Amino acid sequence: MISDVTVGADDIARSMRFYSAFLPALGYGLTEGPDSLSYAVPEHLGQPAILPEFCVRMPFDGGPSSAGNGAMIAFRAQSQQQVRDLDSAALAGGGRGKGKPGFRTAYGPHFYVGYLRDPQGNKIALFSNNPDGPGREG
């Protein structure tokens, strides 16, 4: 089981503006450190933790952060409308669009996804694969 996923960031405040624009709508709470952000779904008494936690940190080695080539983090939304809403919020929070929300022919008929880059250049996907939502035609 994956415990956490971490991306690097050189500007924690800028990253917080981006990730806090959409992660709370997915149920994530934020814990701030002096050079880090930890987003996690709050635990409830008697319930197991919902993993993984998502972390944003300045690199431990003091060097500059860089986005991983081929790396991407995907966050599941409840509906296609929520994907659109979160994409808009993430763009307003400082993200850069890398593929507007919509269906992709490479995926199943209900897979609806939008792609972004965070302020550091990390690739983020926001998706819904809800079979009760409208499907791709054709």
pLDDT single digits (tens) 31-42: 999 899 999 999
Q: Which of 35, 23, 21 is nearest to 65 (CA)?
A: 35
Residue 9 lies in a domain: yes
Residue 45 lies in a domain: yes
Note whether 21 and 126 are within 8 A (CB): no
Q: 113 lies in a domain? A: yes
Is residue 136 assigned to a domain? no
- Residue 138 pLDDT > 70: no
CATH number at residue 36: 3.10.180.10
pTM of the full structure: 0.90
Read off the pLDDT band of 118 (50, 70, 90). very high
Please identify which residue in the block is written with the tokens 């307003």.
Answer: 92
What is the total count of domains within the chain?
1
Q: Is the bond preceding 52 in cis, omega lying within 30 degrees of 0?
A: yes
Per the domain annotation, does 66 fall within a domain?
no
Domain span holding position 109: 4-59+71-128
Residues 36-57, mean pLDDT to the nearest whole number: 91
Asked, for residue 64, whether it belongs to a domain, the answer is no
The reply to whether 84 falls in a domain is yes
Tell me what the mean pLDDT of segment 94-111 comes to: 95
The amino acid at 49: A
Judge whether residue 84 has pLDDT over 60.
yes
Alpha helices in 1-137 (DSSP H): 12-19, 80-92
The reported pLDDT for the residue numbered 133 is 87
Which whole number is the average pLDDT over 79-90?
97
Cα dist from 110 to 14, 89, 124, 138, whole Å: 33, 22, 19, 12
pLDDT recorded at residue 10: 95
